[in-house]
């Protein structure tokens, strides 16, 4: 599963991810603005980026704009969000307009591996729970580095896995979309960043956030079972299989096979 | 200046002849005010943390030091500070700032919050004489048909109207008034009082009762149910319900009331009244029954919520150890331990409208049949803290979720009221599903109401645990016949209850002192079964 798809296959996978992220189990149940750790972790990430008012921040895989709006609102920075899904871009734009943040949180549709932004444009780049889904992580990291100004910081939060210990439930395409199958161990992320010229300043483990996410998935599955069981079945979700998968996931987190991490890196001057 | 051996700090140690400074065994986190539990004089107090527990310590210059456990989880005590909602200023204040908190109740202009819930005690008389009663109510001594002669009272229509009017003047549109006592259902005008409340802009009435009349008088239940059908108004029942063991009933209520409780509940279900089960929880008595109470409530058609309250150690109660009392985190841990298949740490969330350490709430969505339930605590469906963090989160974009959650995590939230039902729906609808999977959740949750269940854990303060920091933001107020709104815990802890009772009954009422283990030698009984300071060893002052 560490074999990276190439060419057409990669493109198809990317489209599938973006379009289907919101129809996979995680997206379906948690909404695609969701990432483990919620806004608390986003703030922790932002605090490490030395943001000052008026700075430019790029949010890669901006989803429905939650992170971008939080940064624009709470840190008074100008945020550009890029997402592969045009539907998300529209939703984020609308949310920013309603929040009165349309001028400081802007959104465009684009590819993380080919960011629609000039070189050296941003003081900071953030990417939450998304690098793990990008088929070409090295290329995405190169793009992060390209759009950052020298000395600019990258803030990542992402799923980590220890591939050798990942339970079989989490190795298929479904798991890929759910952020897990193509996630990497923390040291591999920092190696990928280093190769792109991004020097890691700090890493933190937030595995508890994964457990919380698993609880949330289970709770929402149960809610849907109460309110719309037939649609859940039609969506291809096997309710009977859910407890075993969730239990395997909890075990994997407890044993360190799946986790969540925060990484702060800087673009060398 | 020299310091000799005898003046050395306690705990100082010597090593090889040289004095060595020692670390304190606690973290000092707050300086605040409280009262002396014996004379009720306001005194300085400090909050300290030892072994992840929070203690309040104070010293009266006349009566010495006192210490009580106030929160069983120091980490949560500290982290809940973020969930402290800025207060809302009431439309009117009833008193002025003169001597400072807690001597000016109330509400004085320094009070930080409006009244989410107003309580009217309609009488002191009761058809029970429970060993545990913070109101010191009962069949009063000396009183035969006239409880007044024994230091009791009942309010009149005029007094009730005045109390309701004061509440409305302060609130504008009030959410909930609770009729309590004594036992309000034995007040001969209680139904009139409900009408008086419903005639005013007060959306909901709660009747706080032991259930004896509900069990035995179906016509009375029908009268309540009729008022519950008044458009835009509701009447809900707050039923004393401490558990299932005979011993629980005998030791807390003095009588085995199990069949009464069952009949009261069945009568309410039949009449369409919504009930909250309210348990007074005491260490060594019924702390093992919390999970059973919750499950029983979920299974009974009339019950939509459970309130679990550590026994308030004011008024009448059994002897307790202030350093080992039950607090909110202890109650929550017991619930989690007794129903691990349903609950885990994090399922309860502190209430932001009062001080967050006063009250914690969870809502459940419940499915399935008795014995085979699926229980979904709402805090697991979404990150409640992302919406109710008032310290760091002021600018979070919000599409109505915060407002819905604020109304749910509030002292005025009661199942059976329109506001609470509507906000539960809004929360479920806000869960981001429809875009994703095409499930029309708003449609799907329309009938969720019957499956929603609320659990409240509330630790009221007593003369031992009183912290004015919490008191100043209290949003549960006792409405007095002389037209004041007094924070519930001040009313019970500072001496206001005794003052009101004295004025209303015309009989002197002694200052009540907690029946606490360390005070055993210094207490004497009152005519109502509570304790007061023993006068023999000297004059105990009153405020």
So what's the ipTM on this one? 0.77
Q: Give A75 to chain B, closest Cα distance, Å.
A: 10
Give the residue extent of every domain in chain A: 7-263
Domains and CATH numbers, chain B: 26-389+449-510 (3.20.20.70)
Q: How far apart are the C-alpha atoms of B540 and B488, rounded to whole Å?
A: 25
Phi, psi of B420 (to 5 degrees): -65, -45
* Closest by CA position to B312, among listed B350, B284, B355, B279: B279
What confidence tier does A132 reach under pLDDT thresholds 50, 70, 90?
confident
A91, closest residue in chain B (CA to CA): B435
A7-263 to CATH, choices 3.40.50.2000, 3.40.190.10, 3.40.50.150, 1.10.3720.10: 3.40.50.150
Neighbours of B539 (CB within 10 A): 9
Neighbours of B534 (CB within 10 A): 16
- For residues B279-302, average pLDDT: 97
Is B386 in Cβ contact with A232 (below 8 Å)?
no
Asked if B361 and A196 count as a contact pair (C-beta separation under 8 A), the reply is no
Is A218 in Cβ contact with B396 (below 8 Å)?
no
* The pLDDT of residue B430 is above 80: no
Q: How far apart are the C-alpha atoms of B211 and B215, rounded to whole Å?
A: 6
Chain B residues with CB under 8 Å of A232 CB are 439
* Closest by CA position to A143, among listed A176, A180, A117: A117
* The pLDDT of residue B368 is above 50: yes
Is A224 in Cβ contact with B433 (below 8 Å)?
yes
Model pLDDT, residue B383: 80
Here the contacts of B501-506 (C-beta below 8 Å, separation 24 or greater) are B501/B124, B501/B151, B501/B152, B501/B153, B504/B153, B504/B155, B505/B124, B505/B148, B505/B150, B505/B151, B505/B152, B505/B153, B506/B148
Is B383 in Cβ contact with A226 (below 8 Å)?
no
The pLDDT tens digits of the residues spanning B381-413 come to 878 888 888 877 655 556 677 888 888 888 888
Helix ranges (H only) for B229-373 are 246-253, 258-271, 290-299, 328-338
* The pLDDT of residue B42 is above 50: yes
Give the single-character DSSP code of B324.
G
The radius of gyration of chain B from alpha carbons, rounded to an integer in Å, stands at 24
Question: Distance of CA B179 to CAs B112, B209, B499, Å?
Answer: 24, 9, 20
Query: Which is higher by pLDDT, A213 or B160?
Result: B160
B379, closest residue in chain A (CA to CA): A216
The pLDDT tens digits of the residues spanning B161-196 come to 999 999 999 999 999 999 999 999 999 999 999 999
Give the single-character DSSP code of B516.
B
Does residue B434 sit at the A interface (CB-CB below 8 Å)?
no
Q: Which two tokens stand for residue A179?
A: 């952020």
Q: Give A266 to chain B, closest Cα distance, Å.
A: 26
**Residues of chain B above pLDDT 90, percent:** 76
Model pLDDT, residue B204: 95
* Closest by CA position to B315, among listed B470, B472, B501: B501
* The pLDDT of residue A256 is above 70: yes
Does residue B451 sit at the A interface (CB-CB below 8 Å)?
yes
A39, closest residue in chain B (CA to CA): B386
> Which helix H or strand E contains A127, and what residues bound it?
strand A122-128
Q: How far apart are the C-alpha atoms of A66 and B176, rounded to whole Å?
A: 36
Question: Distance of CA B139 to CAs A19, A58, A83, B153, Å?
Answer: 71, 72, 72, 12
> Which of A38, A212, A222 is opposite residue B376, by nearest beta carbon?
A222
Chain B residues with CB under 8 Å of A70 CB are 395-397
A interface residues, B as partner, C-beta within 8 Å:
22-23, 27-34, 38-40, 43, 66, 69-70, 73-74, 91, 95-96, 98-99, 101, 212, 215-216, 218-220, 222-228, 231-232, 235
Cβ-based neighbours of B308, under 8 Å, separated by 6 or more: B279, B281, B290, B293, B331, B335, B455, B456, B457, B458
């Amino acid at each position: 599963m560490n074999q990276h798809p190439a060419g057409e296959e990669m493109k198809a996978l990317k489209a599938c991810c973006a379009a289907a992220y919101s129809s996979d189990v995680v997206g379906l149940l948690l909404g695609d603005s969701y990432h483990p750790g919620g806004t608390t972790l986003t703030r922790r990430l932002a605090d490490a980026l030395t943001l000052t008012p008026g700075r430019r921040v790029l949010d890669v895989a901006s989803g429905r704009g939650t992170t971008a709006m939080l940064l624009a609102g709470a840190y008074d920075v100008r945020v550009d969000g890029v997402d592969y899904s045009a539907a998300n871009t529209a939703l984020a734009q609308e949310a920013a307009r309603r929040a009165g943040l349309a001028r400081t949180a802007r959104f465009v549709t684009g590819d993380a591996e080919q960011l629609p932004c000039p070189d050296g444009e941003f003081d900071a780049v953030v990417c939450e729970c998304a690098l793990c889904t990008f088929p070409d992580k090295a290329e995405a990291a190169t793009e992060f580095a390209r759009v950052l100004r020298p000395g600019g910081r990258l803030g990542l939060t992402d799923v980590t896995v220890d591939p050798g210990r990942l339970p079989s439930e989490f190795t298929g395409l479904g798991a890929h979309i759910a952020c897990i199958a193509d996630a990497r161990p923390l040291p591999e992320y920092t190696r990928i960043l280093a190769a792109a010229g991004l020097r890691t300043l700090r890493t933190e483990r937030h595995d508890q956030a994964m457990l919380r996410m698993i609880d949330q998935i289970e709770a929402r599955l149960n809610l849907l079972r109460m309110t719309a069981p037939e649609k859940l079945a039609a969506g291809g979700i096997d309710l009977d299989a859910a407890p075993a998968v969730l239990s395997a996931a909890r075990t994997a987190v407890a044993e360190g096979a799946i986790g969540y991490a925060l990484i702060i890196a800087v673009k060398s001057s | 200046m020299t310091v000799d051996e005898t003046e050395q700090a306690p705990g100082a140690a010597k090593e090889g002849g040289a004095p060595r400074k020692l670390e304190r065994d606690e973290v000092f986190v707050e300086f605040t005010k409280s009262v002396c539990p014996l004379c009720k004089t306001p005194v300085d107090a400090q909050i300290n943390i030892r072994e992840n527990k929070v203690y309040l310590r104070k010293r009266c210059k006349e009566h010495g030091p006192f210490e009580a456990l106030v929160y069983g989880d120091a980490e949560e005590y500290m982290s809940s500070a973020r969930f402290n909602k800025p207060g809302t200023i009431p439309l009117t204040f009833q008193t002025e700032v003169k001597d400072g908190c807690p001597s000016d109740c109330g509400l004085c202009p320094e009070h930080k919050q409006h009244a989410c819930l107003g309580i009217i005690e309609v009488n002191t008389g009761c058809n029970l004489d429970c060993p545990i009663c913070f109101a010191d109510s009962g069949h009063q001594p000396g009183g035969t048909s006239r409880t007044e002669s024994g230091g009791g009272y009942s309010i009149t229509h005029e007094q009730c109207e005045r109390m309701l009017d004061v509440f409305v003047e302060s609130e504008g549109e009030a959410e909930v008034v609770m009729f309590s006592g004594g036992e309000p259902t034995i007040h001969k005008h209680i139904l009139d009082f409900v009408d008086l409340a419903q005639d005013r802009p007060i959306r909901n009435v709660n009747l706080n009762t032991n259930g004896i009349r509900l069990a035995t008088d179906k016509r009375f239940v029908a009268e309540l149910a009729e008022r519950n059908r008044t458009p835009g108004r509701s009447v809900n029942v707050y039923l004393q319900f401490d558990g299932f063991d005979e011993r629980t009933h005998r030791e807390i209520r003095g009588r085995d009331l199990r069949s009464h409780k069952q009949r009261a509940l069945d009568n309410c279900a039949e009449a369409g009244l919504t009930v909250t089960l309210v348990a007074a929880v005491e260490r060594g008595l019924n702390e093992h029954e919390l999970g059973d109470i919750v499950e029983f409530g979920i299974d009974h058609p009339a019950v939509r919520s459970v309130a679990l309250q550590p026994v308030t150690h004011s008024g009448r109660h059994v002897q307790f150890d202030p350093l080992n009392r039950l607090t909110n985190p202890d109650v929550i841990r017991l619930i989690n331990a007794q129903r691990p298949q349903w609950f885990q740490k994090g399922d309860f969330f502190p209430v932001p409208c009062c001080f967050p350490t006063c009250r914690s709430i969870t809502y459940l969505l419940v499915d399935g049949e008795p014995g085979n339930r699926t229980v979904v605590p709402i805090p697991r469906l979404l990150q409640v803290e992302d919406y109710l963090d008032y310290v760091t989160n002021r600018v979070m974009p919000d599409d109505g979720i915060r407002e819905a959650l604020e109304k749910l995590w509030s002292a005025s939230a009661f199942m059976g009221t329109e506001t609470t039902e509507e906000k539960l729906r809004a929360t479920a609808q806000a869960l981001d599903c429809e875009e994703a999977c095409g499930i029309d959740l708003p449609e799907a949750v329309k009938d969720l109401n019957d499956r929603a269940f609320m659990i409240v854990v509330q630790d009221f303060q007593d003369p031992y645990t009183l912290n004015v920091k919490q008191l100043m933001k209290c949003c549960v107020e006792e409405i007095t016949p002389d037209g004041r709104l007094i924070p519930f815990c001040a009313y019970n802890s500072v001496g206001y209850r005794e003052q009101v009772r004295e004025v209303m009954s015309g009989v002197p009422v002694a200052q009540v002192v907690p029946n606490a283990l360390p005070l055993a030698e210094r207490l004497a009984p009152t005519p109502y079964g509570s304790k007061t300071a023993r006068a023999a060893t000297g004059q105990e002052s009153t405020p």
